[in-house]
């Protein structure tokens, strides 16, 4: 019994006419009749009751047609799955992301990627930038959404997001309602900062912003999560310099101030290892760029 025999059988079962079925299959009618006879011999039952004027399915033929359709559907699915595997479109893709990317950047990319590659399972992991760099370099992650700047060897990185920084203050701070506002007014004040060991260049970038504004901060606490830093500001522990998107947390007790123009901005990149062997990683990398053009 061959798949071509099943296709021939279903063509006759659907038309109940050998001539029309043969034409649809691009076969001669004698060749089609031979295939049906071979199939019936293999099954051991008559599948059609036929005479000179009509063709009808027997009970065995009716039941066999249901299974034949299922067999062909599964065979076609198996063929498609094998083809996708050969093109690298089946498997697991390990994606790291920072918390800001989880809210702003990752969802539309993951949704579109799953639509295009339903056979791929995405393993999504919230990973700090410094750990992402190391995991990408050691190929424990396939793709990463991480903070810029970073000067990581062996990675291909493309910026996909940019936004200004803002100053966060507790609403009880003496300068919370001050207008206009200067960074130098905060010199020697208490600050909470993104931990340097979590994203060294990002930490240095925020310090550089304060330095350009003639502000010498007194760092009283560091943390590795944006939400934690916003919460520390709300608790009155100090002032913070963070990307503007933290405003979405809407934590009571926090006041936001814009920074002067021409200050550096917060940037996020999509990254892969420059020698990545996975076509899936490259597909995800390219898709993220097409969706988020910074």
Both tokens of residue 93? 């893709």
Are residues 33 and 107 both part of a single domain?
no
Output the six-digit token pair for 133: 């760099």
The whole-number pLDDT of residue 80 equals 74
> In b/e form, how buried is each residue of 241-263, taking b as 16+ CB within 10 angstroms?
bbbebbeebeeeebbebebeeee
Structure confidence at residue 113 (pLDDT): 95
Mean pLDDT of 271-288: 89
- Please indicate whether residue 51 or residue 172 has the higher confidence score (pLDDT): 172
Same domain, 176 and 251: yes
Are 77 and 95 part of one and the same domain? no
Give the CATH number for residue 128.
Answer: 3.40.190.10
The DSSP output letter for 175 is T
- Alpha carbons within 13 A on the beta-carbon side of 286: 6
* Same structural domain, 253 and 285: no
Q: Which CATH number is 30's domain given? A: 1.10.10.10
Contact 92, 123 (CB under 8 A): yes
Model confidence band, residue 198 (pLDDT cutoffs 50, 70, 90): confident
Q: Are residues 82 and 95 in the same domain?
A: no
Instruction: Check whether 193 has a pLDDT greater than 70.
Output: yes
What's the pLDDT at 224?
87
Q: Are residues 144 and 56 in the same domain?
A: no
Where does the pLDDT of residue 169 fall: very low under 50, low under 70, confident under 90, or very high at 90 and above?
very high
Least confident of 65-69, 176-180, 237-241, 280-284: 176-180
Does an H or E element contain 148, and which?
Answer: strand 143-148
Give the domain-ending residue among 32, 56, 86. Answer: 86
- At 105, give phi and psi (nearest 5°): -120, -40
**Tens digits of per-residue pLDDT, 44-103?**
989 998 888 889 999 998 999 999 999 988 888 777 777 666 666 668 899 999 988 988
The pLDDT of residue 1 is: 77
Among 86, 119, 147, which residue terminates a domain? 86
Q: Examine the domain organization and report whether 189 and 259 are in the same domain.
A: yes
- Listed in sequence order, the residues at least 6 apart from 146 whose beta carbon sits closer than 8 Å to its beta carbon are 96, 98, 129, 132, 133, 157, 268, 269, 271
Q: Kindly report the length of the chain.
A: 294
Between the alpha carbon of residue 101 and those of residues 108, 186, 188, 205, the distances in Å are 11, 30, 32, 19
Expressed as residue numbers, the domain containing 146 is 91-161+267-291
Q: Name which residue leads in pLDDT, 20 or 91.
A: 20
**Sign of torsion over alpha carbons 38, 42, 43, 44:** positive
What stretch of H or E contains 288?
Answer: helix 279-291
Helix, strand, coil % over all residues of the chain, rounded to 5: 45, 25, 30
Looking at residue 150, its pLDDT comes to 86
Pinpoint the alpha helices (H) of the chain: 3-15, 18-25, 29-43, 59-86, 99-104, 106-116, 129-137, 200-212, 226-234, 279-291
For residue 262, the model assigns a pLDDT of 84
**Per-residue DSSP letters for 176-234?**
TT-SS--GGGGTT-EEEEE-TTTSHHHHHHHHHHHHHTT---EEEEEES-HHHHHHHHH
Q: pLDDT tens, 250-276?
A: 899 999 999 877 899 999 999 999 887
**Domain shared by 99 and 153, yes or no:** yes
pLDDT of the residue at 84: 67
Same domain? For 132 and 277 the reply is yes
The predicted structure's pLDDT at residue 279: 85
Cα-based distances in Å from 184 to 171, 187, 205? 19, 5, 17
For residue 46, count other CB atoms closer than 10 A to its CB. 14
Read off the pLDDT of residues 212-242 as tens digits, 9 standing for 90 and up: 999 999 999 999 889 999 999 999 999 999 9
Which pair of structure tokens corresponds to residue 130? 């410094």
Does the pLDDT value for residue 8 go beyond 70? yes
Query: Of 56, 86, 116, which closes a domain?
Result: 86
Same-domain check for residues 157 and 187 = no
Average pLDDT for 112-141:
93
Please give the pLDDT value at position 82.
73
Bridge partners, residue 123, by sequence:
94
pLDDT attached to residue 190 = 96
Check pLDDT > 60 for residue 294.
no
- Residue, of 89 and 138, whose pLDDT is higher: 138
Q: How many domains are contained in the chain? A: 3
- Is there a single domain that holds both residue 82 and residue 96? no
Output the average pLDDT for the chain: 90
Spatial separation of the C-alpha atoms in residues 264 and 94, rounded to whole Å: 31
154, 119: one domain = yes
């Amino acid at each position: 019994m061959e798949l071509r025999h099943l296709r021939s059988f279903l063509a006759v079962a659907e038309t109940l006419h050998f001539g029309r079925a043969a034409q649809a299959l691009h076969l001669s009618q004698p060749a089609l009749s031979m295939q049906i006879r071979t199939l019936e011999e293999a099954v051991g039952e008559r599948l059609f009751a036929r005479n000179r004027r009509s063709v009808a399915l027997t009970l065995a033929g009716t039941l066999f047609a249901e299974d034949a359709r299922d067999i062909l559907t599964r065979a076609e699915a198996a063929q498609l799955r094998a083809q996708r595997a050969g093109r690298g479109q089946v498997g697991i893709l390990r994606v790291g992301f920072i918390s800001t990317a989880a809210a702003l950047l990752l969802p539309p990319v993951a949704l579109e990627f799953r639509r295009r590659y339903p056979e791929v399972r995405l393993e999504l992991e919230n990973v700090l930038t410094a750990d992402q760099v190391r995991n990408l370099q050691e190929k424990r992650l396939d793709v990463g959404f991480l903070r810029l700047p970073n000067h990581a060897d062996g990675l291909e990185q493309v910026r996909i997001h940019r936004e200004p920084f803002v100053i966060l203050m507790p609403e009880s701070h003496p300068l919370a309602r001050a207008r206009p506002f200067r960074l130098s007014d905060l010199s020697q004040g208490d600050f909470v900062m993104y931990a340097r060991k979590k994203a060294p260049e990002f930490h240095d970038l925020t310090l550089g912003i304060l330095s350009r504004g003639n502000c010498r901060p007194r760092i009283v606490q560091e943390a590795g999560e944006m939400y934690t830093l916003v919460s520390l500001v709300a608790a009155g522990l100090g002032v913070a310099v963070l990307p503007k998107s933290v405003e979405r947390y809407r934590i009571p007790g926090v006041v936001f101030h814009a920074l002067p123009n021409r200050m550096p901005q917060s940037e996020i990149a999509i990254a892969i290892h420059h020698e990545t062997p996975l076509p899936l990683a490259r597909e995800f990398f390219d898709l993220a760029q097409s969706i988020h053009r910074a």
